[in-house]
Amino acid sequence: MLLELNKPLSSASSSPAPADQLQEQPNCPLIRKEFSLFLAQTTKFLYAIQERQMRFAWKGDSLVVRELRWLQGLWASRRGNTQDRSFIEQQMELYKGTKCFTNMNREVLRKDVEVVEYLNDLIEMFW
């Protein structure tokens, strides 16, 4: 999963962009769409875990909750990654440079924090 998160968001081109294209304006509609799709798929994944937790009632020492804690740490913690930034901080820095979001705190930070809150609520279901 970590390898996938380190890949660029845009899958439109598999080859590196020429140097003259790097100075062009980013494709903001595509960037916003991919950000929304990423959050939607993350939420869908967490919802699938929630449904299974309700069905199987895994305990707090299960592998599932350990992996959820890891995922929560990836999103919200600075520990455990080489950039010394949480995934949320990395996203904020990445998107700040694009100028595709008019209000970074409302559009990116708040939505990312909602994912972390969902993760926290989901982890609590295991106790």
Question: What type of residue sits at position 80?
Answer: G
Task: For residue range 38-75, list pLDDT tens digits in order.
Answer: 999 999 999 999 999 999 999 989 999 999 999 998 88
Does residue 5 fall inside a structural domain? no
Does residue 85 fall inside a structural domain? yes
Does residue 71 fall inside a structural domain? yes
Does residue 19 fall inside a structural domain? no
Count up the domains in the chain and report the number. 1
What is the distance in angstroms between the CA of the first residue and the CA of the last residue of the chain? 26
Task: For residue range 85-115, list pLDDT tens digits in order.
Answer: 888 988 998 899 899 998 888 889 999 999 9
Does residue 109 fall inside a structural domain? yes
For residue 37, give the H/E element and its range. helix 28-56
* Dihedral over alpha carbons 30, 90, 60, 56 (to 10 degrees): 10
